[in-house]
Each structure stands twice: as C-alpha cells, then as structure tokens.
Amino acid sequence: MKSPLISATIITIGVSACVTAASNEEISSKAAAMLKSSFKANGQATLDRLDQDATQHLCSEFAGKAPPRDVAQKIEALNLATVKYPTDGNLLGDWKNGEKIAQEGRGKQFSDDPAGPVGGNCYACHQLSPQELSYGTIGPSLYQFGKLRGYGPETQRYAYGKIYNPDAYAACSNMPRFGHNGILSEQQIKDVTALLMDPASPVNR
Amino acid sequence: MILRAERRELGSCRAASLILTQSACVLALSFCVTACALAQTSAVDEIAKYRAALQDGNPAELWEARGEDLWKQKRGPKQVSLEGCDLGLGPGIVKGAYTRLPMYFADADRVMDLETRLVWCMVTLQAYNESQAKKQPFGNGERKSDIEALVAFVTSTSRGMPMNVALKHPKEVEMYQAGEKIFSYRGGPHDFGCVTCHADEGKRIRLQDLPNLTTREGAQKAYTTWPAYRVSQGELRSFEWRLYDCFRQQRFPELLFGSDASIALTLYLARNANGAIFDAPAIKR
C-alpha cells in the first residue's frame, strides 16, 4: 500500500522541484511584468524608473548579498568604465557645501519638488562629522576618512570615483551611483569629496 | 521622523530668517521669531503627544471603533452591511481572518490581501463602483480613510492569534515567488530595492532601526506590528500604506493600491511571519 504512495510523492516532489528549478528566469520575468502593472507615474517619478540597467538586473539576483566573484568583477569593470573625472583636474570643492549635501535627504522622490534641492543624504547611512549624532549604519563610518587614509591624489581620486559610481569598487553596493545616475552634479560631488578629504573638514578634525 | 521633521522646519526657518534680516524689517524679524518658535513648539508637541499616547493607550482604538461601525452599517447603493463579506473563513467571520491573508479567493480568481478583499466586498455586496471604493485608501488629515478604519477593525480581532498563511493554491505559490523577487528588485535613480535597507542585521537609517525582513525572526517581528497608529502622522496606517511609502522613499513611481506587487510583497512577508503571534494595531513613532 505504501510504496505506490511514496513513489507518487517522490515523482510529485521531483516534478515540482524541476518546475521550480527550471523557472527561476520565468519567475523573475513574471515579477518584472507584475511591477510594470503595479505602479503609476507621479511627477518626476516616471514608469521608466522600473526599467533596470545591466547592473541593477544582475544585482537583483543575489537578494541583497554579495554576488559571486566572477559576476562581481564583471559589474565592477562595467561601472569603472563610466567614472568621469572633472576636466579641470580639481577634485576638491567646498566641504561646507559638502556637509549640507550630506545632510539633505530630499530629491527624486515623487513627493519632492522637482525644482527643489537634491542631496546625497549621506548621514542616512554613514557617520561623517562627529557633531552629527543622527547617522545611520547601513554604510561604514567615514569619520576621519582622509586623516586615516592620507590626503594624497590617489585617495582623492578614489573618494570622488566612489561617490560617482560605488559599483566600480564594490559590485552591488547599497550606495547610489550619484554621478553615473545623475543624482548629484560634478560640483556637488567635488563638495562631498572635500567633506571627506579636506584636512579642515570636521570629518578629519 | 520627529527629529527629521524638526530639522527640516528649523532649516527652513534659518533660510527664512536670512532673507528677512536682509530686508532689515523689525516686523518681519518678529514674524520669523514667532514662526521658528512655532516650528519648535510643533515638534515638542509631537513628542508630548507621543508620550501621552503611549501612556493612555493606543489611538488606533478610534479607528477600530469607526471600522466596526462601517462594517455593520448598511451602506452603498444596495444599503447592505459588510457582515456578509467573506474574508476567507466564510461570510461574516472576522476573527482570525487576517492571520490567513493574503490568500486565493475562487470567486475573484485572484490572490487578495485584506485591503483588496474589502474593496471586493464593497463592490460586490454594497454595489459601490471600484473607483468609489478605492478613492481614499489612506487617510490624509481631515479626510479619513474608510479602508484604514476597516483594516483596523478586522485586524484587531486577530490580536493574540498566530500567523497562519498557507501556500496551497498554485496562484498563492506564484504570488509568493513573485514577492520574493520583487523584494530583491533594484531600480530607479538610486538603485534601491527592499533589500537595500532590509536584508541585514542590526542596521539603522539615521537613528531609526531597520528590521531584517529576509529572516524569519525579522519578518515575524515587523509583520505582526502592522497596521499601526503612527504618532508622527496622527493616522492609522495599513500594510499597503507601509509598502506605498517605502517605494516612495526608494524613488520608485507610485505604487497602485490593491496592485499585484503590493499583494505579492504582503504575501511574501506574511507567510515568512507564520507562527508569530499577531499583535496589532500597534503604535509606532
């Protein structure tokens, strides 16, 4: 009596396992189609924001965890090629403006004025100036960023490039690609780089 | 939230005082002093309200009572109550229904969450048209939401019961799997997905703690405390509101009320919360 039941169960499990394993791509495309029909454009937040570029698509496959090394290298190379440095060669702006940009959480939400400020909201995730106690911990502490790493041109380039496109250095970073995706302007990125790298910045004092 | 709102108000006050001092007008200055004092007072008021609310019980009870009235009143073109509404356990059975949702409903041939099912009943039983039933999904100051009140009432009857969401029907399985994918879906100008804030232990945004919703324990703790009365907003917020506002902050377009993505994510989280004791409507900052 038992054995036909057991074999039927095994077959069922086998079939459903096959269906599940074979359809990961299918589930992904169903989910993407479901997203498209579940949103409406609102002001600056238009529906094309649901379209993924190659990096977003690849990074969505790893449920918030780091991708395997080969995929990570591919993503990092793809993004490193996008980093544009200022043509005047000067990477450091005004750290005081940088502090304001780091504090500013508005920008790009459908509830934000499209003509209003767009910030980096750095404090949402990072500790920077020690005076600001309300900081998040999604990213590492950046307190004494320049002081610990040195103020040299290579570190400046790294800091600027990291803000411009963090996925160039750490694939599938939680941090937005501020320059690559046009969130912050070149001048704003220079100002935030100064907040990290200027010896006079409160971050380094 | 209170801290951030306060900062914003103080920031705009500083800007206002700069403009006004330039005009060197005594009247304008005194206006600014008043405005800044008012902004500080409102933040202080919020904190005071918060403390009072925590001491005197949860204002969610007001939504629960209004929701119970709405459930029992004869309403809509057909002038019938919602007492014949089948929330999954049979017509009129409210107690425990929320611990089983979202689920597949054969009459609609669709997986539905509580909010979607309430709209379904308002349309099929009371003969509201769908846009009437959906017109105020979330409360906004003077304009209170009937849906949020009904959600408060229905969920309150499940307090103390374990979450028990089944994945039996193929459409339930499909919805759960889609929800899991959507949870990881990164997009928009900031590359954000649910996973950006909710896939790691012990993180916070500014000073706000973030639950890790990819673990059973994290999903249980978070899901069983929604809906909630939000002190900073003076509103009872449904789970669909929670998702709507997360996507706003993710810089996504506007999540449609009752959409499949809402239901899929809700099912994913509700199922992962299985076994935990439901403890809402709760009260949150």
Structure tokens at A34: 């479901």
Interval B163-171 mean pLDDT: 97
Residue B272 CA to residue B266 CA, distance in Å, equals: 10
pLDDT in the model for residue A195: 98
Interval A101-124 mean pLDDT: 98
B3 interaction partners in chain A (CB closer than 8 Å): 134
Q: Confidence band (pLDDT; 50, 70, 90) for B57?
A: confident
Catalogue all structural domains in chain A, each as residue range(s) with its CATH number.
Answer: 95-204 (1.10.760.10)
pLDDT in the model for residue B285: 85
ipTM, interface predicted TM-score of the complex: 0.89
Contacts of A111 (CB under 8 A, 6+ apart): B248
Cross-chain CB nearest to A27 (options B177, B192, B251) = B177
Whether the per-residue pLDDT at A149 is higher than 90: the answer is yes
pLDDT in the model for residue B54: 64
Pick B60-284's CATH classification: 1.10.760.10, 3.20.80.10, 3.40.50.300, 3.50.50.60.
1.10.760.10
Structure tokens at A49: 């924001």
Q: How far is CA B177 from CA A15, A167, B161, B168, B216, in A?
A: 17, 27, 25, 13, 16
Whether the per-residue pLDDT at A1 is higher than 80: the answer is no
Residue B151 CA to residue B154 CA, distance in Å, equals: 5
Q: Which residues pair with A68 in a beta bridge?
A: none
Cβ of residue B249 closer than 8 Å to a chain A Cβ: yes
pLDDT in the model for residue B46: 62
Cross-chain CB nearest to A109 (options B183, B205, B249) = B249
Out of B2-16, B163-177, B178-192, least confident range = B2-16
Interval B19-43 mean pLDDT: 40
Alpha carbon B78 to chain centroid, angstroms: 29
pLDDT in the model for residue B48: 61
> What are the domain boundaries of chain B?
2-56, 60-284
Q: How far is CA B123 from CA A138, B81, B117, B135, B196, in A?
A: 44, 12, 10, 13, 38
Structure tokens at B5: 């709102």
Q: How far is CA B126 from CA A51, A70, A166, B85, in A?
A: 39, 58, 54, 10
Cβ of residue B187 closer than 8 Å to a chain A Cβ: yes
The per-residue pLDDT for range B203-225, each reduced to its tens digit, is 999 999 999 999 999 999 999 99
Q: How far is CA A76 from CA A59, A73, B188, in A?
A: 11, 5, 19
- Using the beta-carbon criterion (under 8 Å), do A41 and B186 form an inter-chain contact? no
- Using the beta-carbon criterion (under 8 Å), do B252 and A49 form an inter-chain contact? yes
Whether the per-residue pLDDT at B28 is higher than 70: the answer is no
pLDDT in the model for residue B137: 96
- Collapsed DSSP state (helix, strand, coil) of residue A142: coil
Q: In which residue are the tokens 């649901």 written?
A: A50
Chain B, window 216-235: residues with a beta carbon less than 8 angstroms from a chain A beta carbon: none
Q: Which class for B277: exposed (0-12), middle (13-18), buried (19 or more C-beta within 10 A)?
A: middle
Interval B93-104 mean pLDDT: 98
Residues in chain A: 205
First to last CA, chain B: 7
Which DSSP helix (H) or strand (E) runs through B112? strand B110-112
State whether the Cα torsion B229-B131-A48-A107 is positive or negative.
negative
- Could you tell me which residue, A89 or B55, shows the higher pLDDT? A89
Nearest residue in A to B209, CA atom: A136
Residue A141 CA to residue A120 CA, distance in Å, equals: 16
B202-219 burial code (b ≥16 CB/10 A, e <16): ebbbbeeebbbbbeeebb
Cβ of residue B210 closer than 8 Å to a chain A Cβ: yes
Report the gap between the CA of B265 and the closest CA in chain A (Å): 11
Q: Which class for B83: exposed (0-12), middle (13-18), buried (19 or more C-beta within 10 A)?
A: middle
Q: Confidence band (pLDDT; 50, 70, 90) for A23?
A: confident
% of chain B surpassing 90 pLDDT: 79
- Using the beta-carbon criterion (under 8 Å), do A136 and B255 form an inter-chain contact? no
Interval A98-107 mean pLDDT: 98
Out of B22-36, B119-133, B243-257, least confident range = B22-36
- Collapsed DSSP state (helix, strand, coil) of residue B121: helix
Reply yes or no on whether B25 is catalytic.
Answer: no
A16 interaction partners in chain B (CB closer than 8 Å): none
Structure tokens at A66: 């780091």
Cβ of residue A78 closer than 8 Å to a chain B Cβ: no
Q: Confidence band (pLDDT; 50, 70, 90) for A123?
A: very high
The rounded mean pLDDT for chain A is 91
Out of A1-10, A78-87, B171-180, least confident range = A1-10
Rg value, chain A, Cα: 22
Is omega for the bond preceding A202 within 30 degrees of 0, making it cis? no
Whether the per-residue pLDDT at B202 is higher than 60: the answer is yes
Residue B179 CA to residue B197 CA, distance in Å, equals: 16
Cβ of residue B197 closer than 8 Å to a chain A Cβ: yes
Q: Which amino acid is at B209?
A: D
The per-residue pLDDT for range A73-92, each reduced to its tens digit, is 999 999 999 999 999 999 99
Nearest residue in A to B1, CA atom: A134
C-beta of residue B71 within 8 angstroms of C-beta of residue B239: no
Q: Closest by alpha carbon to B112, among B93, B138, B86?
A: B86
| Pairing mode, strands A39-40 and B204-205 | unpaired
- Collapsed DSSP state (helix, strand, coil) of residue B67: helix
SS3 content of chain B, % helix, strand, coil (to 5): 55, 10, 35
Q: In which residue are the tokens 């009572």 written?
A: B65
Whether the per-residue pLDDT at B70 is higher than 60: the answer is yes
Q: Closest by alpha carbon to A126, among A110, A147, A141?
A: A141
% of chain A surpassing 70 pLDDT: 89
Q: Closest by alpha carbon to A42, among A88, A110, A97, A92?
A: A110
